[in-house]
Structure 1
């Protein structure tokens, strides 16, 4: 397979042992997600050993003195420094998050910073700024009156040393912090059936506590998001409009599960954005768009279906590193949405979800795509209930055919998984 990675006007190629091609471009931001993901970054100055591309590579830093991931720093330059985000079209921005680089040496926190937008002739400060916090080991957020612009600038004034940034996020609708968390407090009538379900899990699946690729593991490894690749196992064409509808429908269904956790039992995220970063197809001509908003994998056939590239898949790289993925960690995919022509029913697991392409497209505007929801439940570890029903519980989504949406019992089963597994993530 030949892979071509496009970054700005630069093109790099890597030959692999297979047939087909991948054309890759800037990653696509999910609705309401980080707009910086699709921008091109530039800067006033970049130290030769650092990289301005770090500021929007999608990697959340573990700390301000990050020694693992790439960084943007301006040592030995001081004074006023800036980093720009430039889009190919106008964006509406209401908030910016900045994670500062501080190595306790030549690069330290700025004395001050502000956000500016380009108005067609020059840069002006955004209006209505909520304030510009400056702190280590966290994102520093400013909200402001919405601006429509294709260029946004983060302007930093140095203090005791040079300045730097590890990541910048720009939002139309900034994620809402979760409310204060509550502990484990299921309704009294569900305590017995929930305990029965968990005991059944542990007895049936001995690998439960050692397996490390549930949806929970993926969200926590990414620090709060999920990446998908679509396997289009159908001869039907896909327009750009249908592509975007598929992306939005998938995000809505995943959100129905992850919203169950908001504010519950120390769950750390108010939102878990879904990013679709790639499509796999037999024939490039089926995909009726010319933009490079997603990576495209052509004619890499596995299981008699188009396969997204293994080097970019978490299923194949569960150590969390992607050394042979052209886009690295930021462009990896955690799960696949496998849409197969003529398929009835569905399948799901840590690798993703598989349903009929006709079913998905025909239900694309449905509030609850119950087969997809059921299979997403499996990706987070929830079991099937073909031959038994917990005590005192009627129909529920994970008991196939007995409910068409997530029920109260499904919600508490989901939360019970977090209760038992959250310790592996330090919660």
Structure 2
């Protein structure tokens, strides 16, 4: 930065303008609850304790659009808890009650408690019982690894829609801030996902689960369903192309909303073929599986596949857990289009090889989106958006709307991983 000259400063003073040194900015208050792990005394099977710190501001206490935490039919003393891996300094909390006017109502009384390391201690404050609004409790700063909301029911069960634990600093994730024109279509998409897939929150083998289980990496096995020969050079090109396309989705997440990884390395650990002679290399850089046929195609060893071992344990994998694969890249001769899911992606082998140096392999990108839960849009389009990758045939690369749909999945699922 250039210094202001003394002549210029004199001119400013003459006209009554003075430059005042800026004072240090106060530390920003942030919602530290977003990075906590949520738990509870009891949760109704159809509700979710993850709702209390998912960052979604409820439209009302009788929110029928988003997840909720409720204890019906249980009554009496109930609690919801936020837990951090290291101490947080808190100065206030904001609580939004779940009240459906029937079996779940505002509690008769409630309070906040902090964990001292050996016991829960009440936090003094004023505890309001408002509906359709946040109830804010301000208190002298406390340092704790746990914040508990203790609820005493009245004649009905109790519940919460959101708990904000406000403090200064910390490794606060960026706020949920999609462009204003995308808020409504994103809400439409998520409501459609929740209504279409009843086991949405119970399913534990999305791409998210796989990356988190590996602490920030992903393993693949290639199912080569073709008689075309594969040289070592082509093998490495297939790996590199897959890694580039997968990275495009992971780059969408880097630095966003507590996503913990700047990059997600992808490794191809195995190849499956009908005939070993198809593979024109002799090195042992990858495991090779020969003539193990499933779905009328070569299959990588099932004991090594996460799809077949969703506990994350691979006791019978010949190479051990380090040789496991999370997804398969299934390359099928003569296939048009593609398919994708928690098991991996399937596209035509000719398409893949012909597009191997392309900037965007749009069919593969689309199918990777499915592996992270993104839906198809064959029969409807969200309001106000046009072409995008997950609406097949309307875009050839990841668009802004695709990126925000992926981020929305993380927003709703991240609490299961403690973020």
TM-score band, normalised by the shorter chain? 0.5 to 0.7
DSSP-derived class of the 1:324 partner: coil
Paired residues of 1:183 and 1:266 also in contact (CA < 8 A):
no
DSSP-derived class of the 1:378 partner: helix
Aligned-pair RMSD on alpha carbons?
1.2
Shift of 1:269: 0.3
Q: Does 1:258 align with 2:222?
A: no
Shift of 1:182: 1.4
Q: Does 1:285 align with 2:291?
A: no
Q: Which residue of 2 aligns with 1:207?
A: 199
Distance 2:408 2:192 in 1: 13
Shift of 1:180: 7.7
* Alignment gaps of 5+ in structure 1: 1-62, 64-178
Deviations 1:226-252 (A, max 9, x none): 000000000000000000000000000
Shift of 1:368: 0.2
Deviations 1:182-225 (A, max 9, x none): 12110000000000000000000001000000000000000000
Paired residues of 1:313 and 1:332 also in contact (CA < 8 A):
yes
DSSP-derived class of the 1:195 partner: helix
Distance 2:259 2:268 in 1: 24
DSSP-derived class of the 1:256 partner: helix
Q: Which residue of 2 aligns with 1:136?
A: none
Paired residues of 1:224 and 1:273 also in contact (CA < 8 A):
yes
DSSP-derived class of the 1:417 partner: helix
Q: Does 1:222 align with 2:209?
A: no
DSSP-derived class of the 2:314 partner: coil
Deviations 1:364-417 (A, max 9, x none): 000100000000000000000000000000000000000000000000000000
Q: Does 1:248 align with 2:240?
A: yes
Q: Does 1:190 align with 2:145?
A: no
Q: Which residue of 2 aligns with 1:354?
A: 346
Q: Does 1:294 align with 2:272?
A: no
DSSP-derived class of the 2:220 partner: strand
Distance 1:342 1:355 in 2: 9
- Greater Cα radius of gyration, structure 1 or 2: 2
DSSP-derived class of the 2:221 partner: strand
Distance 1:191 1:328 in 2: 45
Q: Does 1:322 align with 2:314?
A: yes
Distance 1:195 1:329 in 2: 39
DSSP-derived class of the 1:348 partner: strand
Distance 1:331 1:183 in 2: 37
Paired residues of 1:180 and 1:263 also in contact (CA < 8 A):
no
Counting only pairs closer than 5 Å after superposition, residues 113-124 of structure 1 correspond to structure 2 as none
TM-score (structure 2 length as normaliser): 0.59
Counting only pairs closer than 5 Å after superposition, residues 16-415 of structure 1 correspond to structure 2 as 181-415=173-407
Distance 2:285 2:361 in 1: 25
DSSP-derived class of the 1:367 partner: coil
Distance 2:329 2:256 in 1: 28
Distance 1:225 1:183 in 2: 25
Distance 1:317 1:250 in 2: 23
Paired residues of 1:397 and 1:410 also in contact (CA < 8 A):
yes
DSSP-derived class of the 2:240 partner: helix
Shift of 1:330: 1.0
Distance 1:407 1:181 in 2: 23
Distance 1:361 1:268 in 2: 33
TM-score (structure 1 length as normaliser): 0.58
DSSP-derived class of the 1:409 partner: helix
Paired residues of 1:216 and 1:380 also in contact (CA < 8 A):
yes
Distance 2:314 2:292 in 1: 18
Q: Which residue of 2 aligns with 1:43?
A: none
The size of the alignment, in residue pairs, is 250
DSSP-derived class of the 1:183 partner: coil
Shift of 1:181: 4.2
Distance 2:309 2:387 in 1: 37
* Alignment gaps of 5+ in structure 2: 1-84, 86-170
Would you identify which runs of 4 or more consecutive aligned residues in structure 1 move more than 6 Å?
Answer: none
Distance 1:383 1:420 in 2: 15
